[in-house]
Amino acid sequence: MAVQINPSILSADFSRLAEEARAVEGADWLHVDVMDNHFVPNLTLGVPIVESLSRATDTPLDCHLMIEDPDRWAPQYVEAGAGSVTFHAEAAAAPVRLAREIRAKGARASMALKPATPIEPYEDLLPELDMLLIMTVEPGFGGQAFLDIMLPKIRRTRELIAKHGLELWLQVDGGVSDTTIERCAEAGADVFVAGSAVYGASDPAEAVRALRAKADGACRH
């Protein structure tokens, strides 16, 4: 597995997003949390900000849609410049059709699961995806503590991916830090979203490098 580190812009200074995006250009992706104050109790960024970010950085954008009706809105994020778009299984009316539409528009298609949503009912959908996101906190707010009870779910998901012989990225989001990333990697994750662990550091680029080293070490182990 190739480790990928995706800093979450949710923890950045919103008054200087272009600078904050450039501060982590050694990262693999820039994670953009889109919240609508309906699916989750918070309101953040939308299509115009994604369009602006796509022009401000060469780092590809990984948009995580915590919104209602992603079937309608997700394709617009591809058009705005996102290289990867994640919709929630709990919100999508037709996840297979949506994943295929995202892919047809030229982006990677990803599906997210809240902590209480099991992976097993979605096993047959895995070949339609490029990435699966296991939330390791309840979606809606940054800075939450990592939920250790999600580690068995990460392991089960990795087993299902291996069972079907898929080249599917397994992303974790929520409470990922220098004290939790190794456990996530050992459980089978290979894409890591980190917000405050990166943007709360005095040197965000160095924080990305340190997180990558820890995850790499755990994967080799």
Whether 184 contacts 136, CB under 8 Å: yes
**Known active-site residue 33:** yes
> What does each C-alpha distance from 129 to 32, 87, 171 come to in angstroms?
19, 11, 12
Residue 8, marked binder: yes
Kindly name the residue from 28, 62, 130, 173 that is annotated as catalytic. 173
Kindly name the residue from 28, 33, 130, 190 that is annotated as catalytic. 33
Residue 28, marked binder: no
**Known active-site residue 173:** yes
Residue 141, marked binder: yes
Residue 64, marked binder: yes
Residue 87, marked binder: no
Residue 26, marked binder: no
Strands of the sheet with 4-7, listed across from one edge: 4-7, 191-194, 169-173, 131-135, 108-113, 84-88, 61-66, 30-35
Residue 33, marked binder: yes
Residue 81, marked binder: no
Positive or negative torsion for Cα 97, 101, 104, 108? negative
φ, ψ (nearest 5 deg) of residue 33: -90, 115
d(CA 161, CA 134): 13
Annotated binding site for a divalent metal cation: 31, 33, 64, 173
Annotated binding site: 8, 31, 33, 64, 140-143, 173-175, 195-196
Annotated binding site for substrate: 8, 64, 140-143, 173-175, 195-196
Q: Which residues are catalytic?
A: 33, 173
